[in-house]
Every structure is written in C-alpha cells, then in structure tokens.
Amino acid sequence: MSWLKRIFGQDKPADPQAAINAPAAMPAASGESIPAERVGLNGEYDESGLAKRVALAFDENSELTDENDLWVAQTSGTVVLKGKVSSQVALNKMIEVANEVNGATSVDTSQVTVA
C-alpha cells in the first residue's frame, strides 16, 4: 500500500510531480492566496496539504518503501513524522525528501524511534 493511501485514504493524483512541487502560494477561488503548507494535491486549500504532498513524495521516491508504523502530519510548515522506522538510513532519506517539498520549513522527528 502507498503512503498516501494508508495515511490519508487517497489515490495518487494524475500528475504526482506537479502536486509535490506546488507553487509557494496558490490563488484560492476567493482570490486570496493559499499558504504553501495548505496547498492540497490538486491545488485546493487543504489543512493537511503539506503532509499529503510529503506522503506523495515518499511514494514517488524509489528509495523509500512504506513504513507501516510511521505517520506523516504537519504543524504549519513543519512536517511531523511519528512512529517507528526500520533504520536510520530510511529516516535520513525521509527527512531529505520531506525538506524538498514546497512549503516544508522543517522536519520534526522527535516522535520517531528507529527499530
């Protein structure tokens, strides 16, 4: 199962790379800008937009496999990883990938344990 499907119950969008690389701020239907951390997979406002785009980025990275005991969340522009990972190497790669997603200002791993 994919990260996006397991955590958020969603399928990948038609253009995953466009979703991951969402602009720094998107115009909303109301004419106001959507902050980068709130841009969803299809350019809409989404409270968990950054976390979903990070999960999608994990799915799109061939070096990462779904870690069934790890969850992705967000607090504003901070990506929050929670749970357990299989190795420090995997966690380091996740941090690297998460930091590359537009809107991510930092990655919090304080709630992660390495098995």
Split at pLDDT 50, 70, 90, the class of 31 is low
Is pLDDT above 70 for 114? yes
Indicate the domain borders of the chain.
Answer: 3-114
| Amino acid code (one letter) for 7 | I
Cβ–Cβ under 8 Å, residues 5 and 26: no
> What gap in Å lies between CA 65 and CA 42, rounded to an integer?
24
Q: Is 73 exposed, middle or buried (0-12, 13-18, 19+ CB in 10 A)?
A: middle
Q: Find the mean pLDDT for residues 58-76.
A: 94
What pLDDT does 25 receive? Answer: 60
Distances (CA, A) of 108 to 1, 40, 58, 83, 101: 24, 21, 16, 12, 14
> What gap in Å lies between CA 60 and CA 12, rounded to an integer?
10
Q: What is the pLDDT of residues 68-83, one digit of tens each?
A: 999 999 999 999 999 9
- Average pLDDT over the chain reads 91
This prediction has a pTM of 0.91
